[in-house]
């Protein structure tokens, strides 16, 4: 089970890197960021698929999505200087609560 969560962590990191690089591709007009984006997403999906061997898909996907969204939002504010408003913070709170509910009461348990 621990290995599954380690795979999930790698998948999350890959997805966050890939999404940030996606912005850097400038609409896939820049070759190197585009190639790095593809590599990051391949790594992300590969390790996400490995995590499904020991973690229920609903739980793994909820964690992957929630942590990914939170980290990408954090990077967008810090690195890309995008604004953050109160409703975005409320929405992130709902995502966190939803992920906790899936983990506690999902059918995979």
Distances (CA, A) of 61 to 16, 17, 68, 101, 103: 14, 17, 10, 13, 10
pLDDT digit string (tens) for 8-55?
A: 999 999 999 999 999 999 999 999 999 999 999 999 999 999 999 999
- Determine contact, residues 67/12, Cβ cutoff 8 Å: yes
DSSP letters for 14-74: HHHHHHHHHHHTTTTTSHHHHHHHHHHHHHHHHHHHHHTTTS-HHHHHHHHHHHHHHHHHH
Domain count, the chain: 1
pLDDT digit string (tens) for 65-78?
A: 999 999 999 999 99
**Residue 28: domain span:** 2-105
């Amino acid at each position: 089970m621990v290995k599954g969560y380690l795979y999930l962590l790698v998948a999350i990191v890959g997805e966050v890197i890939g999404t940030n690089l996606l912005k850097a591709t400038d609409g896939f007009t820049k070759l190197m960021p585009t190639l790095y984006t593809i590599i990051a997403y391949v790594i992300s999906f590969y390790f996400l698929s490995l995590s499904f061997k020991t973690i229920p898909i609903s739980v793994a996907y909820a964690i992957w999505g929630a942590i990914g969204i939170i980290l990408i939002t954090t990077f967008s504010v810090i690195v890309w200087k995008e604004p953050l408003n109160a409703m975005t913070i409320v929405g992130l709170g709902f995502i966190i609560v939803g992920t906790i509910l899936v983990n506690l009461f999902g059918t995979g348990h």
